[in-house]
């Protein structure tokens, strides 16, 4: 299906993100001051089947992904649509400034997983378990994350949002995650949005990669990502980098 044309039979949960008509963001203060956020407010953002946000620390990946997830109805700390899990309100007001253009008849289900709050989420699931949930706290970080993706929450149509899912995952676990995410997107009405620092995750075939930086956000080929170029070059010759940070 060409980008931008809605698939009438299998609509995506979120076709486009844009500023709400009644939003009044203060442009020079956070979060509207983040270039990528400002660009989304000014020009909107089309979301495809699988979108990956990549960028330096502080470039706005979490701010953007959290606001899109919350505008969809997902809890800012992670969980499913309709879950009430909340421990500390640290979210930006951005979700109130955004409107999502949803595919007509698309799934309303979704799940938000974020590395920094999985401990709290697993405590919530300990108290409110699904029918065949393992005791997530009894698994290692990587094991619990992959086990979570193996549950029914991540099957079928829906909007699946993940913030740095690679945290704590070994190389082979990240590779397994690539396979899991690719399989997840094979469901016709499923849609995935990820923020990551991992060149492994960013390599998922068919992903639309957006690089965030001081100029905003722009599409990028995997091989042209700064993280891919830096890791490739570091692994070839670590000393070229290390001499700048250690004596």
Ligand X SMILES: Nc1ncnc2c1ncn2[C@@H]1O[C@H](COP(=O)(O)OP(=O)(O)OP(=O)(O)O)[C@@H](O)[C@H]1O
Q: Using CB under 6 A as the criterion, which residues of the chain lie in contact with ligand X when the complex forms?
A: 30, 34, 55, 57-63
**Closest approach of Cβ 222 to ligand X, in Å?**
18
Give the residue with the Cβ less far from ligand X, 67 or 207.
67
Beta strand ranges found along the chain (DSSP E): 16-19, 45-46, 50-55, 79-80, 98-101, 110-114, 158-163, 190-196, 208-213, 216-219
Give the nearest distance from C-beta 227 to ligand X in angstroms.
11
CB of 80 to ligand X, least distance (A): 22
Please report which helix (H) or strand (E) contains residue 4, including its range. Answer: none
Q: Which is nearer to ligand X, 143 or 213 (CB)?
A: 213
Closer to ligand X at the Cβ: 1 or 229?
229
Beta bridge partners of 43: none
User: Minimum distance between the CB of residue 61 and ligand X, rounded to whole angstroms?
Assistant: 4
- CB nearer ligand X, residue 33 or residue 233: 33
**Which C-beta is closer to ligand X: that of 68 or that of 125?**
68
Min dist CB 60 to ligand X, Å, is 4
CB contact set of 210 (below 8 Å; sequence gap of 6+): 51, 52, 53, 54, 217, 218, 219, 220
Give start and end residues of each alpha helix (H) in 26-132.
Answer: 35-43, 61-72, 94-97, 118-127
């Amino acid at each position: 299906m060409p980008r931008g044309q809605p698939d009438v039979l299998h609509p995506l949960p979120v076709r486009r993100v844009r500023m709400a008509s009644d939003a009044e963001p203060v442009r020079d203060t956070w979060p509207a001051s983040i270039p990528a956020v400002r660009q989304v407010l000014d020009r909107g953002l089309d979301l495809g089947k699988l979108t990956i946000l990549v960028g330096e620390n502080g470039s706005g990946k979490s701010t953007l992904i959290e606001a899109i997830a919350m505008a969809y109805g997902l809890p800012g700390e992670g969980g499913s649509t309709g879950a009430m899990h909340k421990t500390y309100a640290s979210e930006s007001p951005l979700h109130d400034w955004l409107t999502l253009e949803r595919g007509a008849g698309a799934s309303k289900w979704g799940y938000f997983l974020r590395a920094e709050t999985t401990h709290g989420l697993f405590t919530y699931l300990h108290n409110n378990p699904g029918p065949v949930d393992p005791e997530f706290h009894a698994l290692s970080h990587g094991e619990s994350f992959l086990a979570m993706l193996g549950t029914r929450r991540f099957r079928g149509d829906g909007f699946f949002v993940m913030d740095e899912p690679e945290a704590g995952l070994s190389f082979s676990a990240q590779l397994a995650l690539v396979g899991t995410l690719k399989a997840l997107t094979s469901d016709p009405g499923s849609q995935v949005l990820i923020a990551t620092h991992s060149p492994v995750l960013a390599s998922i075939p068919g992903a639309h990669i957006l690089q965030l930086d001081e100029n905003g956000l722009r599409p990028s080929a995997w091989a042209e990502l700064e993280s891919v170029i830096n890791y490739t070059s570091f692994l070839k010759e670590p000393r070229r980098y290390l001499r700048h940070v250690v004596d």
